[in-house]
Structure 1
Amino acid sequence: MPGWPSVGRAEDHELVEALRRADTDAPAKLYDCYGERLHDYAASFAQDLAADAVHDALVTAQGCVHRLKEPARMRAWLYALTRFQVRARMSHRTPVDGVPLPELDAQQDPELTDLVHETLGELSKNEREVLELSLRHGLTPAEVGAVLGLTSRQVASRLARARDHLENAAAAVLLARTGRAHCPDLSAMLDGCEGPLTPLLRRRLSGHIGGCEVCTEGRHRQVSAAKLLDLVPIAFPPISLRRRVIDTCVNPERDQTRTLITDRGDSFDRTGFPVAVESRSRRRRPRRLAPVLLAGACVLAATGAMVVINGRDVSTGTPLRSAPSPSAPAVSLDPDEESPTPDPSPEEDELTPDPTPTPTPSRTPSTRATPVERPSARHAAGPTPTRRRAVPGARLRTTCPKAIDGAAKIGLGARNAAVSWVATASQGLDVFPASGSIKAGGSVAIWVTIVDPNAAGRGRVAFTSNGGSASCSLSWDGDGPETADPTDEPTNSSEPTPSPSVTVSAENTETLEG
């Protein structure tokens, strides 16, 4: 950009080293290289605040150069410090919509100058900053992103959008003068138009140029966004600014002022770039909300758990009742009436020695009147919840003999599900078969024989299965008649066959596990 001295990347490294060595001429070199550039950039925000912002930015750079991790980013770092200082001063002012537009030099082309002034005002704040830092100040997309806190991709997209908007607007004016013969559509749109373009017609022409290959090629030949920005005059700093910066940096009497300036701007990230106050507060805000959100989630979870455990409506406090099963018998309201006794199942008749059921007394409701709460409409509207009955497990049932004379039979039965069993006999007894399985609802009989029928004794047969365990205790007297050997195969029988009438002492134990 003509008007200020050009600085190469190699000079940036030398300048950083001079500042770190605290050379006496380092502040003067720093201002001579970047003073005018930074003042022009600060003036794009506020003309009256530019000089003070550049002064504090250069003093901060001289005192905090050790925070810059990469000397190659010296240029972007200085622009970021200037932006931080000018925005800090603008934060104390009443906010104004938009960015103040610069005064343009209208001597070259008044119509084009007014167009550039109007088009810059149509750009957003970030798009205008990206356009000026990239084209006017020569920063790379990575450097612009470091200054504005954007990624290189975001900078590239905003630069392309701002460049196209500015060049299309300028091309509408220039091609309206010289490009009618190349594009019939453009010529038709300008037919009958004399004098300066109206804003509405200029916008129509800009839209046409953006979609027309012929007009786009003409725009690239005749229009350049960088040259259009040359119409914006440079905001040169006052002559006294250089002396102020050098005096504050090297004069020992200004140590207190220098310390105040560096402390006010002492807010850097890991790479050494300044961090705005609003950015820090925006980052901390979600952390402050995290405990509140966590506490709210815990309260909701606790409330839901209490509703599930107590089974009560939160709003009315009415306990939830399950509807009675349709298959359940009705309860008599007459105290003198007995409820019918259910008939015993055939399975229990087969395995139980005494098939006579015991009558069950009827349940009589209390004669005291109990107020019944009417369920709320909220519960009446939905279906009444019912409890599902648990599926019963397999059960082993045994029928022990009342007496044993050489040999006897023990009945085994299975309820609810199939049962696999194993029999174990104590000393003096023998059992056949020693293991087997019974299908659900079935029964079998096994033989128990006395090893020495002539000698008296006591014994025990224990059964283990997936339906529980059971045992039969037997006793016998000696000198009894010999008993024929049992058959090889067990006999299925619903009732055990009584042995010959020899009086013995027998214990019948039964253990059921559901």
Structure 2
Amino acid sequence: MPTDHGSDPGTGLVSAACAGDPRAVEGLVTQSLPLVYNIVGRALDGGQDVDDVVQETLLRVVRGLDGLENPSSYRSWMVAITVRQIRDWIRGRVQDREAREPVELAARFPDPASDFASLTVLRLQLDSDRREVAEATRWLDEDQRELLSLWWLEETGELARAEVCEALGLSGRHTAVRVQRLKEQLDVARTVVRVLAARPACPELSGLTEGWDAVPSPLWRKRISRHTRGCAHCGTRTDRLVPVSRLLLGLPLLVPPPGLRQAVWAAIAPALPAADTRPDGVTETGAPGSAGPRPRGTHAAGRTASRRRASRRAGHARTVTAAVATATVVLGAFALAHYRDTDRTVSSPAGAPTVSGAGTTAGATASASPSPGPSAKKKEKKGKEKEKDEKGEGEKKSGASASAGTARASRAAGGETAADPVISSRRKGVGVWSFPGMSDALGRSGAGWYYTWSTAHPGITASGGADFVPMVWGAKSVTTQALAEAKAAGPYLLGFNEPDMSAQSNMTVDQALDLWPKLQATGATLGSPAVAYGGDRAGGWLDRFMSGAKQRGYRVDFIALHWYGGDFRTAAAVDQLRSYLSAVYARYHKPIWLTEFALIDFSQGTRYPTDTEQAAFLTSATKMLAGLPYVRRYAWFGLGTDDAGPGTTLFRSGSTLTAEGRAFRSAP
């Protein structure tokens, strides 16, 4: 069994943090974040609320530091708070199950790079046996996930059994019984993973799983394991399972994404209250072992201890707040470096495809890829005058400072008012091509992610914390440099851009399939080539590609789609988009990313709706998409342009927010 129980911050650091030392608080939260992230992430299977639970957990830890009586018990206390936050989240989800049916249904369609099984495989580059264990965790019962998160960290040497027992609130004997049951269930799940991956496949097993949607579940685990026990073909493949404890020994923690580090400090800084000492000397701060406030009427010893600390609490609150401000700068710089390391302008090689129009700017090129931009047909100059953008009125508050007034005037000039709501969401993305002020526009848009039709993002900073997702545009983009950039950019990779269009990557199905293993080799969660149309059609380009990928044993983790509507009536357009997405999902049963969409009529040249019509569609369409659990992400076409560009963008003339831009900022 492991004996090195992870990274212990030490009593000196904890004591200094409890006393309000700014750098100690910074160091303590920095050291605690990876452990909390791994516990929460694996317990919730990398669900959409992991970041929120992590932030709330660390917020409660910081608030409760002044009530921690024994610095040596910090880790056990922190893990216990983490487990309580997980249970509170699960309890709330169960209570809201009926009201939140789309959210519950979405759990059946996990983002393929958000669950911890995929993250573990992708980031740690596991060998076959360890990969099998990681993938087997998807098959466990939901009520086992909390125990899994703690036991996994015990096996990897990050937690001691005593810490696991304390977090669960169980005796050592009871914990041992539960862990043994978990191991048995995990071994069953490992056999399921093994027989499903075996080649050649068992004919009987193929018949059994013919109607299965490929989503792991306890029901199918039981069916497949029952078949395995009685099948001579499959039974021989399940012998000699290497003990899990040997496979997990020494595995490192998954590193939290840089954006989460920023988000944690953004959540902590404004929420830290000033000291609130009550008349009886009891302060509303967390008690040891508790994520909540200290109750009134505690016994005399507790009140005495509270009074002893009362004199330092005002200073503690001020210094912790200062520590948060300092760490926000330090960790924010660290997170931005993740993006800036790859910010550079590189030249396209000879023969690389180029696209003229709004998507290009003089001197802006990308590595082995086209100039960032969409189909040439979408970038034709508008044939009609666009409606003028509505101007937001600046606030006119009496007594406001000159600098605040200037800032409000600046927002008003861009069509933005102080009342404009901005909803940030990881699901919400945007396509970006070069234009003046693109980084500022990206930060103001509320987008959670963006892409550039390339594996690089020259000139774009991580403004607003949006994540970059690379794309290998076409055949000539499959270069050593581009693949290295894609691998370094993060967990996702988008496949070829509109290979069914002669004006775009223009690839045959066989050509795309021959190149696909090189994209797979990046280890990224991989999106299909994004066809311009006909993704739902039997025998269409995408259908032939997916059939060929299945025959060759290639991996396609999600479907990428484009959609443009020529009917400018909002209700009709939204219904058409919904029908298309539903038909594509019914054909492939894989998560979908809608990576380009807007209203553009190509039936007779290129015709755009008014900004008001486009904004109405965007608002209704994004609400509809929020109710489709298999649509994991979407990206509007596109972020911004000059006045000659397409009439669909969120910004025009560099910094002027359009009506559709305001609608996007409020979209879920």
Sort the TM-score into its range (normalised by shorter chain): 0.3 to 0.5
**Which of the two has greater strand per residue?**
1
**Which of the two has greater helix per residue?**
2
Q: TM-score if structure 1 supplies the norm length? A: 0.37
Q: TM-score if structure 2 supplies the norm length? A: 0.30
Higher relative contact order (CA 8 A, sep 6+): 2
The structure number with the bigger radius of gyration is 1
